[in-house]
Amino acid sequence: MKIVNVLFGLVVICVMAGCELIEKAVRDIGISISSEELNDFIKTVKGNMIFVEGGEYLMGDYGVEYGPEGLPYDLNKNNKPLHKVQLASFFMAKFKITNEEYGLYLASNKLSARQDAAGDEEFIQVSIPPNNPAHIDWYEAENYCNWLADVTKLPFALPTEAQWEYAARSRGRFLMVATDDGTYKVTNDSATKDWRSGPRGINISTLRDREEFGDEMKWTTGIYSPLPVDRFPPNPLGLYSMSDNGFEWVSDWYDPDYYQYSPIHNPQGPDQPVYKGRDSNHQYAKVLRGIAYANPLWGGGVNVQRSYRSPDGYVQNFLSDGSFLNLSDKTARCVLNSEGPLE
């Protein structure tokens, strides 16, 4: 697309001539979107939706009762107790929202992208490659999915937490991670202090994969480099990178005790804001699912893990009394709340 070609050209300029002006260039780019481009975009979005047949499952940390080791997958109490959930059918995007998709949304609405940590150069760089995940706060994720609903006249939305886990576990199966077979698979290269000498991922990313991709892109993000959204195989349902490559926002307000009173049918999370904590900068928190960076060597990205953050993306600065914007590990994907076929 035109927007991607222009933005990617800015990265080349940045690498060759320095990045002093790239932030202003990205924010003031002023690209318009034709109706033909928008129609092509809508067609692509619909084509990337995976049908998730509704059903009943046990939501939460099932490790003790149904895991092969008979141990909990997470010591945190916020994903307990195990409880029954019944969901209607829906569609879910096979990929996280990409830079290309989010860039078209911004251009179509004449909006400017926010910049992480007051315009951090690394954040600007990783926001350019078209097939990488867009890094956004909860409000931006919700606005994007709502915009999809407006332009398609279809009920797009952020997924509920229950929908997200059901889909990650391929309709509620007892799968530990959202890989092609529910396990971590990596090469047998030994890990050293130099992560590039450690294992590569086979069905999920490793530190080495992210380090090497960052080097390839000439970034300085190292082991925190985001990867293309389709870098590794999808889960059995056909959904990509739900267990790595960025936390994913869901629609629910966060309550660590929600599983104790969650309704059975299509739970939506608490009716109003409930919880403030350190991880949400002491602001009312929204739920994040998945993980920012998978670590197969010692776990991470388990399908039942829950996280929470402030919906505006600000986190507490533990070196001072202030806070700072941190979007670099947060993204999202949309669902389509329809039980019938897409036209």
Q: For residue 200, tell me if it sits in a domain.
A: yes
Q: Looking at residue 189, what is its pLDDT?
A: 81
Residue 143 belongs to a domain: yes
Q: Is residue 65 part of a domain?
A: yes
Q: What is the pLDDT of residue 90?
A: 98
Measured distance CA(340)–CA(194) in Å, rounded: 50
Q: What is the CATH number of the domain that holds 194?
A: 3.90.1580.10
Domains identified in the chain, total number: 1
- Residue 190 falls inside a structural domain: yes
Quote the pLDDT of residue 193.
60
> Tokens in use for 280?
């949400």
- Answer whether residue 174 is part of any domain: yes
Cα angle 40-96-242, degrees, rounded to a multiple of 5:
145
- Domain membership of residue 270 (yes or no) is yes
Global pTM? 0.90
pLDDT of residue 147: 98
Structural domain harbouring 50: 34-336
Q: Within a domain: residue 23? A: no
pLDDT score, position 245: 96
Domain-located, residue 219 = yes
What residue ranges of the chain have pLDDT lower than 70? 1-31, 114-119, 191-196, 318-320
